[in-house]
Structure 1
């Protein structure tokens, strides 16, 4: 049954990696769109160059975040605590009441 568990963990890792790639793609798209808006507002070539550099930094950061997420997902799979595993959740000693307290960081 171990191979079934490994296959399931691989699927979970792949799904998490797809999510990380999608998030990075969205960040890149947002950076490109913001660059276009900022370039229209910029008046001189220096400002436009600064806008382009800012976009490039945001894209590079998105790529690094994606790489880091992939690395973490692989490490979680190796450790057996991959995305979606439910190890270490609670001890069963709760009171059974869930109350919303708006003064404690809620939305």
Structure 2
């Protein structure tokens, strides 16, 4: 196919205010992904938009496999609560206890659209 640029598992974006740290989740407008490298603010950064990652979660929550997982807009910490302004990022791929600092999530490779409750 002549017009295919790439599969889109990795998407080039401009690093947001404060830059990016490799392995952290970022939302740039409606694009959700994990930074593959460190990047200074305003520099190009590759975001992995699809895959399974272990990422920071709201500690006081228990997750079950298959739970929808959202990013809290202000912090990018993950939650299983679809609160107003949170962004759907994927599904839990492992059980996470209450309390626990991290959870496994499969990013959905789609747009992080805000929840409206």
Where relative contact order (Cα < 8 A, 6+ residues apart) is larger, the structure is 1
Q: Which has the larger radius of gyration?
A: 1
TM-score, normalisation: structure 1: 0.23
Q: Answer 1 or 2: which has greater strand percent.
A: 2
Higher share in helix: 1
